[in-house]
Chain A
Amino acid sequence: EVQLVESGGGLVQPGRSLRLSCTGSGFTFGDYAMSWVRQAPGKGLEWVSFIRTKPYGETREYAASVKDRFTISRDDSKSIAYLQMNSLKIEDTAVYYCKTDRRTEDFRDHWGQGTLVTVSS
């Protein structure tokens, strides 16, 4: 069974940093591009970041709202994707989900249960 488990969320002050982890199991992690999507309390979904697989150079994409502050990375040997969040702002408060990217041959994607990040003084 495919599982994604996010961890690392919590309460953090504005301007500080936090690193989220997304641990995968039940599938070959390195075969999938990975994304982070967030949802502020009571709001809609916002795509945050994306990282390609090793054959595609592990290149990355970011939403404008987090570019230059957040960094996505992956360690396929540990089946983990990371989201390093620096210079956090109050508006970064959200549930952060990681998800697999659907490959051309796939008919679904997989999501974690999310981890809550609260940025507050």
Chain B
Amino acid sequence: EIVMTQSPATLSVSPGERATLSCRASQSVSINLGWYQQIPGQAPRLLIFGASTRATGIPARFSGSGSGTEFTLTISSLQSEDFAIYYCQQYNNWPRTFGQGTKVEIK
């Protein structure tokens, strides 16, 4: 099983600032990596797939990069609605696995 490790566990950021979230895979997943946003009490929402392609309706302030084992989600200028938990998920191998999540909170 591929283990996905996200860092940091919690990120404290002021509105308008940049947030950088990391996700590492225990073995290569190529670019078969997605990022999800989850607001407490809601279902997750797909932000990024293929490591760097924004999903439908996702603002341009969200960007993804990386390949192989190292991936990054960047939120260029945090808005109030972006404070949430973010998960990466690999879909290169079975079983599909999620990272443990990064909580982005207001500083």
A45 touches B56 (CB 8 A): no
A-B contact pairs, 19 of them (CB 8 A): A35-B96, A37-B44, A44-B85, A44-B98, A44-B101, A45-B36, A45-B89, A45-B98, A47-B89, A47-B95, A47-B97, A50-B94, A61-B94, A61-B96, A102-B49, A107-B53, A107-B55, A108-B56, A108-B57
Closest to B55 in A: A108
Residues of B within 8 A of A62 (CB): 95
B43 touches A97 (CB 8 A): yes
Residues of A within 8 A of B14 (CB): none
Flag whether B67 is at the interface (Cβ < 8 A): no
A64 touches B95 (CB 8 A): yes
Q: Give residues of chain A (29-82) contacting chain B, Cβ–Cβ below 8 Å.
A: 35, 37, 44-47, 50, 61-64
Count A/B pairs, Cβ under 8 Å: 51
Residues of B within 8 A of A102 (CB): 46, 49
B95 touches A44 (CB 8 A): no
* B96–chain A nearest beta-carbon distance, Å: 4
Closest to A67 in B: B95
A113 touches B46 (CB 8 A): no
> Interface range on chain B: under 10, 10 to 19, 20 to 34, or 35 or more?
20 to 34
Residues of B within 8 A of A91 (CB): none
Task: Give 9 nearest A-B pairs by CB, closest first.
Answer: A111-B43, A108-B56, A47-B96, A107-B56, A45-B98, A44-B101, A108-B55, A63-B95, A61-B94
- Cα–Cα, bound, A85→B99 (Å): 24
B46 contacts which of A35, A45, A63, A109 (Cβ < 8 Å)? Answer: A109
